[in-house]
Amino acid sequence: MKTSLDNYFPTTILSSNTKTGCSINLPIKGHCTPTKNCAACCYAKSGHTALPTNIRKQVWMSQYLKGPSIAQLILETKSRTAVRLSGTGDLSLDHVNNLLWLAQSCSSTMLWGMTRKLDVAAELNGRLPNLKLLVSVDSSSPDSVWNYQGPLCYGPRLAGDVVPRDKRIITVFPYHKGGRVINGVPNHKKDCPAVRHVVDGCMSCGRCWKW
Ligand code: SF4
């Protein structure tokens, strides 16, 4: 059966943004397993990333990442220092084989990002030195997430949340919107410096993959 994606190929597979530099953007629908806080605060539900043309690219991206050839993605990724996985949405197990192939093919590029899926993190972390995923947790996450023994990021952090003292937490993301931290979210020493406007973006930081 033909779909609206059959004749579609984006001008560039990687998406650009001022914070992360470039990313693989995936859909929310059918991909995310959000917590209550994540669903309420999600930055990808509105604005530029939620435009129909961008959602079409996200849906296409997910299919492409499950498909037989990622040659063009490899070409684009090779010229980058770091690429954020799941700049929007979340990864799925169907993407694992091609992400391993991408990391192998682009050994000078760091592939990094966040996921709420423990099975995806377990399949990707520790497999290759240039593939680093943080598991996202927040105050509405199920207790079972804390059984994960790998690196974590905490966010969105709401005003009343107390960040656990836990060495696994690499980065804290204070809830922010439109480039501003929401009133009342306290500072934390592990806060993302780009969210706090201490650095201009991930390429000046790298904390989420330098662990
Ligand atoms: S902590 Fe650093 S690498 Fe991680 S999201 Fe923030 S700026 Fe980017």
31 found inside a domain: yes
d(CA 110, CA 99) in angstroms, rounded, equals 12
Q: What is the pLDDT of residue 29?
A: 95
Ligand 1, residues at Cβ distance < 6 Å: 171, 192-194, 199, 202, 205-208
Other C-beta atoms closer than 10 Å to the C-beta of 118 total: 14
Mean pLDDT of the chain: 95
Q: What is the pLDDT of residue 3?
A: 61
Determine the distance separating the centroid of ligand 1 and the alpha carbon of 162, expressed in angstroms. 20
Rounded to 10 degrees, the C-alpha dihedral 196/202/208/210 comes to -120
Determine the distance from the C-alpha atom of residue 139 to the mean position of all C-alpha atoms in its chain, rounded to a whole number: 19
Nearest residue (by CA) to ligand 1, atom 4, is: 208
CA-based end-to-end distance of the chain: 45
180 found inside a domain: yes
24 found inside a domain: yes
135 found inside a domain: yes
Other C-beta atoms closer than 10 Å to the C-beta of 101 total: 14
Q: What is the pLDDT of residue 154?
A: 98
Q: What is the pLDDT of residue 148?
A: 95
Q: What is the pLDDT of residue 4?
A: 61
- What is the domain extent for residue 58? 15-204
53 Cβ contact list (under 8 Å, min separation 6) = none
79 found inside a domain: yes
User: Hey, which of 172, 192, 211 would you mutate to test ligand 1's pocket, going by the most ligand atoms within 8 Å of its Cβ?
Assistant: 192
User: Hey, which of 134, 205, 211 would you mutate to test ligand 1's pocket, going by the most ligand atoms within 8 Å of its Cβ?
Assistant: 205
8 found inside a domain: no
46 found inside a domain: yes
Nearest residue (by CA) to ligand 1, atom 1, is: 192
Number of domains in the chain: 1
Q: What is the pLDDT of residue 2?
A: 59
Give the mean pLDDT per block of 10 residues along the chain (211 residues): 75 91 95 95 86 95 97 97 96 98 98 97 97 98 95 97 97 94 96 96 97 96
Nearest residue (by CA) to ligand 1, atom 6, is: 192
45 found inside a domain: yes
Q: What is the pLDDT of residue 47?
A: 85
